[in-house]
Amino acid sequence: MPLCVLEQVKKTYKIGEEEIEVLKGIDLRIDYGEFAAIMGPSGSGKTTLMNILGCLDVPTSGEYILADNSVTHLDDDRLSVLRNEHIGFVFQNFYLMTYATVLENVLLPTLYVEKQKHGNIGKKAIEILDLVGLKDRAKFKPNQLSGGQQQRVAIARALINNPEMILADEPTGQLDSKTAGEIMGLLARMNEKGKTVIVITHDSSTAAYARRVIHLKDGLIVDRDSWSV
């Protein structure tokens, strides 16, 4: 069953008078439960693709369907709701709120939930922190943690609203290779638990954790089947 379907997705940026077509017609289908890596050199359009997949931006033309929602023509509020319900982000620079505790960071997405479904959200956050191995760090501030630990907090934050998809943008970019391996292992475990994981990276050792690699070049997907594992 498809979670993400992209049909002829194009994205054009206007810089002054000049129009730059960053995505030139992407056709892509990602099913529930997949672990996919999107690879490509800088300038290939992988950041733009990740923005569109993450509902942070909309295509200029073409169709993007996320969990049966047509994203292309949604307004900003609806995009926010989609992000809140369906997507958990993990960023290269962790992007934790420096003045908030680990627990508060994990709980951040729950602030913007329309109607809270879970009974005890604080208890759930602790459970997720336990899952990522940081239960005893709940009251710490991000700057008291190592890079790997911070990224675990970010993963816990990505899980709290129970989204179908985890979208990780260069999740290991700031980490040494050992820690990077731990983080990718954690993402793989989440995938085994049923999460769809999409990793955007230029690093092949990171991409190696994925069961499918989508290679992007000059705004187009290149021979994706040959990269499938």
> Which residues of the shown chain bind another protein in the complex (CB under 8 A)?
51, 54, 56-57, 76-77, 80-81, 83-85, 89, 91, 95-97, 99-100, 108-109, 111-114, 116, 157, 161
Least distance (Å) between residue 189 CB and another protein: 22
Rounded Cα–Cα distance for residues 206 and 180 (Å): 8
Paired tokens of 124:
């759930």
Rounded Cα–Cα distance for residues 26 and 64 (Å): 10
Q: Which is nearer to another protein, 201 or 212 (CB)?
A: 201
Paired tokens of 207:
């991409």
Least distance (Å) between residue 184 CB and another protein: 21
Least distance (Å) between residue 93 CB and another protein: 8
Q: Which is nearer to another protein, 7 or 57 (CB)?
A: 57
Least distance (Å) between residue 163 CB and another protein: 10
Strand spans (E) along the chain: 2-15, 18-31, 35-39, 61-66, 69-70, 87-90, 165-169, 196-201, 212-217, 220-221
Q: Which is nearer to another protein, 159 or 216 (CB)?
A: 159
